[in-house]
Structure 1
Amino acid sequence: MAVRSVSALLLLFSFFCFLPAFAGALELPVPVSEEVLGLVVFKAALQDPTAALASWNEADASPCDWAHVRCDAGTGRVARLALDALSLSGPLPRGLDRLPALAALSLSDNNLSGPIPPGLSLLPKLRFLDLSRNAFSGRVPQDLALLPSLLSLDLSSNAFSGPLPEALFSAATCRSLRFLSLAGNRLDGPLPVAALSRCSLLLHLNLSSNRFSGSPDFASGLWSLSRLRVLDLSFNAFSGAVPEGVANLHSLKILRLNYNRFSGAIPSGVGLCLHLTALDLSHNSFDGSLPSSMRYLTSLTSLRLSNNQLVGDLPEWLGNLTAIRQLHLSNNKLTGTLPTSLGNLKELNYLGLSSNHFAGSIPDKIAECTKLTELHLKENKLNGSIPPGIFNLSLQVLDLASNAFTGAVPAGSSWISETLQFLDLSDNNLTGTIPPEMALFFGLRYLNLSWNGFRSQLPPELGSFRNLSVLDLRRNALYGSIPVDLCESGSLYVLQLDGNSLSGPIPEEMGNCSSLYLLSLSHNNLNGSIPPSISRLKKLEILNLEFNNLSGEIPPQLGGLDNLLAVNISHNRLIGRLPVDGVFQSLDQSALQGNLGLCTPLVTEPCKMNVPKPLVLDPNAYLPGFANNMPNLSYPASTMPVRRRRFLSASSIIAISAALIIVLGVLVVTLLNVSARRRMGLPEKAPESTCSSSSRSAGPAVGRMVALGAGCALKIDELNGGAEALLAKATELGKGVFGTSYRAMAAGDGSIMMVKRLVTANIVQYHEDFDREVRILGKVTHPNVLSPRGYYWTPHLQLVLSDYAPCGSLHSRLHERDASVPPLSWPERFKVVLGTAKGVAHLHQAFRPPIIHYDLKPTNILLDGDCEPKVSDFGLVRLLQKLDKHVASGRFQSSMGYMAPELACQSLRVNEKCDVYGMGVLMLEVVTGRRPVEYGEEDVVILIDQVRALLEQCNVAECVDVSMGEFPEEEVLPVLKLGLVCTSQIPSSRPSMAEVVQILEVIKAPI
Structure 2
Amino acid sequence: MDDIVFIHGNALWSLSGGIPSSFSALSGTLHKLNLSRNALSGEIPPFLGAFPWLRLLDLSYNAFSGEIPASLFDPCLRLRYVSLAHNALTGPVPPGITNCSRLAGFDFSYNRLSGELPDQLCAPPEMNYISVRSNSLSGAIAGKLNACRSIDLLDVGSNHFSGAAPFGLLGLVNITYFNVSSNAFDGEIPNIATCGSRFSYFDASGNRLTGPVPESVASCRSLRVLDLGANALAGDIPPSIGALRSLSMLRLAGNAGIAGSIPAELGGMEMLVTLDLAGLALAGGIPGTLSQCQFLLELNLSGNQLEGAIPDTFNNLTYLKILDLHKNRLVGGIPVTLAQLTNLDLLDLSQNQLTGPIPSELGNLSNLTHFNVSFNGLSGRIPASPVLQGFGRSAFMGNPLLCGPPLNNLCGASRRAKRLAVSVIIVIVAAALILIGVCTVCAMNIKAYMRRSKEEQEGKEEDEVLVSESTPMLASPGTQGSNAIIGKLVLFSKSLPSRYEDWEAGTKALLDKDCLVGGGSVGTVYKATFENGLSIAVKKLETLGRVRSQDEFEQEMGQLGNLSHPNLVAFQGYYWSSSTQLILSEFMVNGSLYDHLHGSHHTFSGNSTGVGLSWQQRFKVALGTARALAYLHHDCRPQVLHLNIKSSNIMLDKEYEAKLSDYGFGKLLPILGSYELSRLHAAIGYIAPELASPSLRYSDKSDVFSFGVVLLEIVTGRKPVDSPGVATAVVLRDYVRVILEDGTVSDCFDRSMRGFVEAELVQVLKLGLVCTSNTPSGRPNMAEVVQYLETVRTYS
Q: TM-score, normalising length from structure 2?
A: 0.51
- 2: CA distance between counterparts of 1:246 and 1:345? 28
Q: 1:611 to 1:240 in 2, by over 3 A?
A: same
- Residue 7 of structure 2 is aligned to residue 156 of structure 1: no
- Residue 263 of structure 2 is aligned to residue 410 of structure 1: yes
Name the counterpart of 1:421. 273
Determine which structure has more spread, i.e. the larger CA radius of gyration.
1
Secondary structure of the structure 2 residue equivalent to 1:189: strand
- Cα deviation 1:257-295 (Å, max 9, x = unaligned): 011111111112321122122210111111111153433
After TM superposition, list the pairs within 5 Å mapping 1:446-845 onto structure 2: 446-532=298-384, 534-536=385-387, 544-554=395-405, 569=407, 574-575=409-410
Which 5+ residue runs of structure 2 have no aligned equivalent? 435-796
- 2: CA distance between counterparts of 1:511 and 1:169? 67
Name the counterpart of 1:444. 296
Q: Does the aligned pair in 1 maintain the 2:267–2:290 contact within 8 Å?
A: no
After TM superposition, list the pairs within 5 Å mapping 1:315-334 onto structure 2: 315=166, 317-334=168-185
- 2: CA distance between counterparts of 1:549 and 1:296? 63
Which 5+ residue runs of structure 1 have no aligned equivalent? 1-146, 556-568, 577-608, 622-626, 636-1007
Q: For 1:270, give the aligned amino acid.
A: L
- Cα deviation 1:119-151 (Å, max 9, x = unaligned): xxxxxxxxxxxxxxxxxxxxxxxxxxxx22111
- 2: CA distance between counterparts of 1:247 and 1:291? 17
Secondary structure of the structure 1 residue equivalent to 2:89: strand
Q: 1:502 to 1:320 in 2, by over 3 A?
A: closer
Secondary structure of the structure 2 residue equivalent to 1:574: coil
Secondary structure of the structure 1 residue equivalent to 2:216: helix
Q: Does the aligned pair in 1 maintain the 2:267–2:289 contact within 8 Å?
A: no
Aligned with 1:366 (options 211, 217, 229): 217
Secondary structure of the structure 1 residue equivalent to 2:313: helix
- 1: CA distance between counterparts of 2:289 and 2:421? 54
Q: Does the aligned pair in 2 maintain the 1:258–1:283 contact within 8 Å?
A: yes
How far 1:243 moved relative to its partner?
2.5
Identity %: 31
How far 1:619 moved relative to its partner?
11
How far 1:553 moved relative to its partner?
3.0
- 1: CA distance between counterparts of 2:78 and 2:134? 27
- Cα deviation 1:855-887 (Å, max 9, x = unaligned): xxxxxxxxxxxxxxxxxxxxxxxxxxxxxxxxx
- 2: CA distance between counterparts of 1:554 and 1:423? 34
- 1: CA distance between counterparts of 2:419 and 2:259? 57
Q: For 1:362, give the aligned amino acid.
A: V
Q: For 1:326, give the aligned amino acid.
A: Y
Q: Does the aligned pair in 2 maintain the 1:575–1:610 contact within 8 Å?
A: no
Report which structure shows greater RCO (CA 8 Å, sep ≥6). 2
How far 1:322 moved relative to its partner?
2.3
- 2: CA distance between counterparts of 1:228 and 1:337? 37
Aligned with 1:167 (options 17, 22, 36): 22
- Cα deviation 1:683-714 (Å, max 9, x = unaligned): xxxxxxxxxxxxxxxxxxxxxxxxxxxxxxxx
- 2: CA distance between counterparts of 1:371 and 1:493? 30
Q: For 1:156, give the aligned amino acid.
A: N
- 2: CA distance between counterparts of 1:509 and 1:268? 63
How far 1:181 moved relative to its partner?
1.0
- 2: CA distance between counterparts of 1:450 and 1:352? 21
How far 1:227 moved relative to its partner?
0.8
Q: 1:554 to 1:233 in 2, by over 3 A?
A: same
Q: Does the aligned pair in 1 maintain the 2:181–2:203 contact within 8 Å?
A: yes
Name the counterpart of 1:230. 81
Q: 1:311 to 1:342 in 2, by over 3 A?
A: farther
Secondary structure of the structure 1 residue equivalent to 2:258: strand
Secondary structure of the structure 2 residue equivalent to 1:486: helix
How far 1:254 moved relative to its partner?
2.4
Q: Does the aligned pair in 2 maintain the 1:253–1:278 contact within 8 Å?
A: yes
After TM superposition, list the pairs within 5 Å mapping 1:281-292 onto structure 2: 281-290=132-141, 292=143
Q: 1:616 to 1:250 in 2, by over 3 A?
A: closer
Q: For 1:471, give the aligned amino acid.
A: L
- 2: CA distance between counterparts of 1:362 and 1:435? 20
Q: For 1:185, give the aligned amino acid.
A: N
Name the counterpart of 2:204. 353
Secondary structure of the structure 2 residue equivalent to 1:485: helix
- 2: CA distance between counterparts of 1:476 and 1:326? 35
Name the counterpart of 1:187. 40
How far 1:614 moved relative to its partner?
12
Q: Does the aligned pair in 2 maintain the 1:522–1:548 contact within 8 Å?
A: yes
- 2: CA distance between counterparts of 1:610 and 1:527? 15
Q: Does the aligned pair in 2 maintain the 1:514–1:538 contact within 8 Å?
A: no
Name the counterpart of 1:90. none
How far 1:311 moved relative to its partner?
0.7
- Once superposed, what is the RMSD of the aligned Cα atoms? 3.0
Name the counterpart of 1:978. none
- 2: CA distance between counterparts of 1:167 and 1:441? 59
- 2: CA distance between counterparts of 1:616 and 1:381? 58
- 2: CA distance between counterparts of 1:462 and 1:414? 12
How far 1:492 moved relative to its partner?
0.8
Q: 1:315 to 1:203 in 2, by over 3 A?
A: closer
- 1: CA distance between counterparts of 2:27 and 2:356? 77
- 1: CA distance between counterparts of 2:41 and 2:285? 58
Name the counterpart of 1:739. none
Q: Does the aligned pair in 2 maintain the 1:479–1:503 contact within 8 Å?
A: yes
- 2: CA distance between counterparts of 1:451 and 1:406? 12
- 2: CA distance between counterparts of 1:254 and 1:316? 19
How far 1:611 moved relative to its partner?
11
After TM superposition, list the pairs within 5 Å mapping 1:110-121 onto structure 2: none
- 2: CA distance between counterparts of 1:372 and 1:311? 25
Aligned with 1:212 (options 59, 64, 67): 64
Q: For 2:291, give the aligned amino acid.
A: A
Q: Does the aligned pair in 2 maintain the 1:188–1:213 contact within 8 Å?
A: yes
Q: 1:449 to 1:343 in 2, by over 3 A?
A: farther
Q: For 2:101, give the aligned amino acid.
A: H
- 1: CA distance between counterparts of 2:419 and 2:307? 44
- Cα deviation 1:311-350 (Å, max 9, x = unaligned): 1113453245321111000000000111113653443111
Q: Does the aligned pair in 1 maintain the 2:146–2:166 contact within 8 Å?
A: no
Name the counterpart of 1:376. 227
How far 1:309 moved relative to its partner?
0.7
Q: TM-score, normalising length from structure 1?
A: 0.40
How far 1:393 moved relative to its partner?
0.6
How far 1:216 moved relative to its partner?
2.7
Q: For 1:530, give the aligned amino acid.
A: I
- Cα deviation 1:890-932 (Å, max 9, x = unaligned): xxxxxxxxxxxxxxxxxxxxxxxxxxxxxxxxxxxxxxxxxxx
Q: Does the aligned pair in 1 maintain the 2:349–2:372 contact within 8 Å?
A: yes
